[in-house]
């Protein structure tokens, strides 16, 4: 089957995707269009990147990211070489930069799931091919692209849509979702307890983008206030992979920030619930909400595949065209 033409190849494509804000707001709709097209016709690009290959470095456990990336690469005609840090010399003293130089001589893109965001930045600085952040402690761009696609499929155009994020406002998911809302012209209310407010740098960057897109962001401590106008209410796990040493403290601090039917009663009747998964049921979100008819978590998870496929195709194809 011949490849279907990408609608965004003539746009300004970044060399790397480390944060949602690396994507110019003008590119984002076309990227989501491409993801929707790939969702409708998964094998329509089956020969588009045949002969290419991607590397996937995972320093953290992964279900959705690992599997969706491997399947997305396969649907583009590429093998995905999946390795852990300990399977590379990276785990035995070789520097990140040296690893990037070597891998980029074999591969057409490198995806990396790591802890400190500076590691994926160092990888990108030394790599000759696109580096894509498959999750760091600060950003999770793949998740937010899947979030936007799920919201667009449910509500239609994103500009003017109102969402609420409930819980840790400084998490990687919140940072990326805020950037995604900013680029899309959405309105976001973030409800967090004291000490969990969104990082000032991320917040200021989002507000600069929103000045152009028409979106807004507001910070507050009361979950009920945040959801009162929200068409989408986002819950996230309280104790992420890098925060297990803070588990007791975080469960106490975030106890009021659970998304349940009582909280959703303060939201508009058409409000949907979001969750990036995995979920700790009946902690940050109740099972009746997660399994209910107004939850998009499973659509978000499914959309990790076509959005990953769209990102890989776009960045790799743009790099190939630049080097011709």
CA distance 298 to 303: 9
Residues 190 and 261 placed together within one structural domain of the fold: yes
Q: Which residue segment(s) compose the domain that 51 sits in?
A: 20-139+304-322
Rg (CA), the chain: 19
Select from 191, 262, 275 the least CA-distant residue to 232. 275
In a domain, 6, yes or no: no
Residues 275 and 173 placed together within one structural domain of the fold: yes
212: CATH: 3.40.50.1370
pLDDT at 1: 40
Lookup result for tokens 């590379």: 88
In a domain, 9, yes or no: no
Residues 295 and 149 placed together within one structural domain of the fold: yes
State the DSSP string of 164-199. Answer: EEES-TTSHHHHHHHHHHHHHT-EEEEE--TT-PPP
pLDDT at 239: 87
In a domain, 12, yes or no: no
How is residue 233 written in tokens? 């209410």
Residues 268 and 236 placed together within one structural domain of the fold: yes
Residues 204 and 94 placed together within one structural domain of the fold: no
SS3 label, residue 52 = coil
Residues 166 and 70 placed together within one structural domain of the fold: no
**H-type alpha helices, the chain:** 28-40, 64-75, 96-103, 117-126, 141-155, 172-184, 200-213, 223-227, 247-253, 261-264, 287-290, 297-302, 304-322
State the DSSP string of 210-250. Answer: HHHH--EEEEES-HHHHHTT-SEEEE--SS-TT-GGGHHHH
pLDDT at 229: 98
Residues 153 and 279 placed together within one structural domain of the fold: yes
Residues 151 and 290 placed together within one structural domain of the fold: yes
Tally of structural domains, the chain: 2
CA distance 264 to 287: 14
Please check whether residue 146 is in contact with residue 303, taking contact to mean a CB–CB distance below 8 angstroms. yes
Residues 43 and 148 placed together within one structural domain of the fold: no
Residues 262 and 150 placed together within one structural domain of the fold: yes
Residues 61 and 207 placed together within one structural domain of the fold: no
Question: In a structure prediction context, what are the per-residue pLDDT tens digits for the chain, which is 324 residues long?
Answer: 444 455 555 568 999 999 999 998 889 999 999 999 999 999 999 999 999 999 999 999 999 999 999 999 999 999 999 999 889 998 788 999 999 999 999 999 999 999 999 999 999 999 999 999 999 999 999 999 999 999 999 999 999 999 999 999 999 999 999 999 999 999 999 999 999 999 999 999 999 999 999 999 999 999 999 999 999 999 999 988 777 888 899 999 999 999 999 999 999 999 999 999 999 999 999 999 999 999 999 999 999 999 999 999 999 999 999 887
Residues 229 and 256 placed together within one structural domain of the fold: yes
In a domain, 2, yes or no: no
How is residue 5 written in tokens? 């033409």
How is residue 218 written in tokens? 């507001």
pLDDT at 2: 42
């Amino acid at each position: 089957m011949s490849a279907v033409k990408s609608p965004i190849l003539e746009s300004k494509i970044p060399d790397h995707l480390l944060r949602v804000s690396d994507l110019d707001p003008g590119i984002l709709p076309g990227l989501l269009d491409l993801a929707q097209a790939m969702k409708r016709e998964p094998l329509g690009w089956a020969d588009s990147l045949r002969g290419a290959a991607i590397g996937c470095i995972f320093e953290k456990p992964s279900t959705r990211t690992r599997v969706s990336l491997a399947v997305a690469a396969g649907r583009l005609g590429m093998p995905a070489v999946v390795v852990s840090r300990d399977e590379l010399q990276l785990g035995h003293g070789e520097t990140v930069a040296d690893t990037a130089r070597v891998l980029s001589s074999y591969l057409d893109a490198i995806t990396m799931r790591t802890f400190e965001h500076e590691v994926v930045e160092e990888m990108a600085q030394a790599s000759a091919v696109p580096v894509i952040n498959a999750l760091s402690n600060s950003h999770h761009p793949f998740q937010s692209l899947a979030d936007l696609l799920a919201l667009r499929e449910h509500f239609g155009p994103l500009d003017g849509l109102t969402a609420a994020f409930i819980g840790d406002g400084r998490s990687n998911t919140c940072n990326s979702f805020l950037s995604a809302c900013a680029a899309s012209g959405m309105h976001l209310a973030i409800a967090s307890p004291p000490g969990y407010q969104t990082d000032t740098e991320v917040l200021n960057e989002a507000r600069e983008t929103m000045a152009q897109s028409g979106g807004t962001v507001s910070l507050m401590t009361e979950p009920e206030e945040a959801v009162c106008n929200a068409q989408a209410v986002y819950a996230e796990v309280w104790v992420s992979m890098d925060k297990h040493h803070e588990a007791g403290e975080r469960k106490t601090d975030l106890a009021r920030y659970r998304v349940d039917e009582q909280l959703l009663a303060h939201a508009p009747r058409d409000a949907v619930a979001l969750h990036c998964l995995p979920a700790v049921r009946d902690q940050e979100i109740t099972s009746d909400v997660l399994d209910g008819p107004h939850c998009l978590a499973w659509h978000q998870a499914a959309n990790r595949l076509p959005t990953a496929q769209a990102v890989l195709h776009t960045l790799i194809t743009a790099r190939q065209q630049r080097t011709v």
